[in-house]
A and B are shown apart, each in its own frame.
Chain A
Amino acid sequence: MNSTIELLAPRYDIAWYPWAVQYFFMIAVSYASLWLAAPALVFGKKTWLPTARLALIACVSTTLVAPVALLADLHQPLRFWHFYAYANSHSWMSIGSVVLPLYLVSVLGLAWLAWRPALQAQCGTPGLGGMLATWLSLGSGTTPRAIVAVVGLAALGLSSGIMLYTGAELAIVKARPLWNTVWLPPMLATTGFIAASGLVLVLNRVSGLCSQTAIRQMLYVLLVACALAGLIALSWFLDGVNAHVGSVATALESVRHSASWRNTALWGGITGIALFAAVLYLLTRPTLRQPGPSGAPTSSQPALFAWAWLLGLVAIHMGWMFRWVVLMDVQHVARNSAGFHHYGIPAGSSGILGIVGTFGLWLAVILLIELFIPWRQAQQGGLIAMPTHAAQDASTHPLTAKKGASSHV
């Protein structure tokens, strides 16, 4: 017997919809940007403050939207309370359902503490913003730095729980050989850092902060994360070359038999290498000496840094596409029949509308924060702070403040 033709097999639908991609993407950006905000907010490193402010809005906005996408992926979203009424400690998903709300509360707590001094400074100003600030700042007492650090550490701890559970949830599924590898959780985490630093670069540009310090720091994070992701991918592959490993064997088989998998593998590889090379190129440009606003010579950054946000977009694309391939494309690989299941992304809420809707919701959250929260003055607790000149300039003219503001931050 050699030639076999499959005559009859039912069509198996995918079980997790693009909502799952949105959840895994949002929550990864959330935990990674929390770690990017941590050096300044939790450990008090002042040079990381511009990055921390941007990372904190990235973190808060994605932390708020991610659970919405997760709920939407349930076929019975109104039964979410069953997670708590009938918790099953044997299931990673159940463990996640306990960690996730705690993480959300800790992130909101940290953000509130970091924004509180600026909110207090905004109390009493005319308009809705002032009213909200009065209401949100809960009194005029100081915000002890120790509390910010403790809440921050708790959030970091819980974020590690999120990293672990989201990775393990997939990695234990033996039925999907492509998920069933120990290399998947670290790969999800590193691509999360790639996407988060990309998002901070984009927010840095769009918000008008254009902090050169933040750009340099994010480029370094991108460089390390890309290198780590490459190393993890290589290790996974070498494992499979050395011995029979189900995930590598299935991947090679998929790439061999499917043009779309070949394209995906090529695209992922080329984009990753191009991103790494571009970041390395930017970071190795010589630093130019330019006169500062006061006339004294001050160090500035390469002109190309102004375009780093484009690399940010590529980085976000990498983080999202990796999750799309892992969660959606892997479900197309047939387990018991020949070939691949076909799945056209539907237009409705379990498809394109869901994807666009999640990003729309995220944008709405970002805009609400921009409207009502003085996030540009976030700091590690302390007394009521009066906004600095540079920060005020940036907040009143978000799109006009450009390179000039760089020397202030």
Chain B
Amino acid sequence: MDAIRRSLLGQMARLSAGAALMPFSSLAQAGINQQPARREGDPTKRYGMLIDLRQCIGCQACTVSCHIENAAPLGQFRTTVSQYEVQHQESGELATFMLPRLCNHCENPPCVPVCPVEATYQQQDGIVVVDSDRCVGCAYCVNACPYDARFINQRTQTADKCTFCAHRLEAGLLPACVESCVGGARVIGDMRDPQSQISRMIHEHRDALMVLQPEKNTLPQVFYLGMDERFTTRPKAEPVALEVLDPHGQEMGYEFHH
């Protein structure tokens, strides 16, 4: 479409109904949807994670160990590893791309201000948690998270998500996914401590690190090393999924074919 027509259409859009509604939009975006104050947690720390994709072999040990550690219901995950088969355009060469996903414990978490009862909040150490005794299960946070990192736990009927295994960190242990990672791809630590492994790696690879959906301005604190930029947003991929049902018609999992 040529520039003149574009500009004409733009003028028409501005002239048409509802231009007066713009102030409502800024009110909705700014005034009300602000981050509430952080509470609890150690204010001297800021936890973050760095995932070295060059070390990830897609074994799903993190998925399984998290599932067991945090007793998530079957079919619901706090972390998973997405897997893609990619083909080189010219050579036809095939490769598998692995992308571990979990809560990004964003610096500007969109899930926190939407919570009508402040059941989900950000600790002073940056970890976003849910008080499941307070949560009303409205699922607003589930819709507000662009990373699909939240779900309504079928058993507790409240919002559930990755907590960086805050209960383990408190006890001086590593999160289950980090502990079980066979390639040592997941690195967690205090980013305020310049001597921590994560701080050193961030310093070393600063220019190569990427986050998911940076355009959403959520400022994720899970950094990917060895990432292909095309996977930072919803990948342009073809899904090949089939549901696998048991003899009673209950879903057991997926089978993939192509």
Contacts and interface: CB of A to CB of B under 8 A. Distances in A.
B134 A231 contact: no
B81 A8 contact: yes
A174 B77 contact: no
Contacts of A337: 82, 234-235, 237, 239
A75 B143 contact: no
A99 to B, nearest CB: 12
A234 B145 contact: no
Given A8-B256, A88-B117, A15 B17 contact: no
Interface residues of B, number: 82
> Size band of the A side of the interface?
35 or more
B24 to A, nearest CB: 7
Given A16-B143, A175-B146, A86 B134 contact: yes
Contacts of A176: 143
A164 B24 contact: yes
A87 interface: yes
A90 B34 contact: yes
Contact of A6 (B1, B21, B238): B238
Interface string A222-241: 00000010011011001101
Contacts of A5: 84-86, 237-238, 240, 258
Contacts of B83: 6-8
A10 interface: yes
Contacts of B212: 336
Interface in B66-91: 75-77, 80-89
A339 B16 contact: no
Interface in A1-46: 1-13, 15-16
B28 interface: yes
A97 B119 CA distance: 15
Nearest to A20: B139
Given A93-B116, A95-B32, A182-B25, A242 B6 contact: yes
Nearest to A183: B18
Interface in B1-58: 1, 6-7, 9-10, 12-13, 16-18, 21-22, 24-25, 27-29, 32-36, 58
Nearest to B236: A4
A92 B97 CA distance: 39
A168 B230 CA distance: 31
B114 interface: yes
Contacts of B89: 1-3
B193 interface: no
Contacts of A231: 16-18
Given A12-B151, A88-B117, A235-B17, A243 B10 contact: yes
Interface stretch (A77-85, A265-273, A310-318): A77-85
A186 interface: yes
Contacts of A9: 80, 82, 239, 241
A5 B36 CA distance: 40
B145 A175 contact: yes
A16 to B, nearest CB: 6
Contacts of B115: 88, 91
Nearest to B145: A175
B199 interface: no
B6 A241 contact: yes
A3 B230 CA distance: 12
B176 interface: no
A74 B143 contact: no
Contacts of B96: 7
Given A7-B96, A93-B116, A75 B151 contact: no
B95 to A, nearest CB: 8
B157 interface: yes
Contacts of B138: 73-75, 93
Interface in B188-242: 212, 216-217, 228, 230, 234-241
Contact of B84 (A6, A168, A334): A6
Contacts of B254: 8, 11
A88 B36 contact: yes
A4 B114 contact: no
Interface in B121-160: 134-140, 142-148, 151-152, 157-158
Nearest to A82: B117
A252 interface: no
A73 B143 CA distance: 14
Contacts of B235: 4, 6, 337-338
Interface in B148-198: 148, 151-152, 157-158
13 contacts: A76-B157, A79-B136, A83-B116, A87-B116, A88-B117, A89-B32, A92-B28, A171-B28, A172-B29, A174-B110, A175-B146, A241-B13, A242-B7
What 9 A-B pairs come out closest when comparing CB atoms? Answer: A75-B137, A15-B139, A339-B239, A175-B146, A238-B13, A2-B89, A15-B142, A94-B116, A338-B237
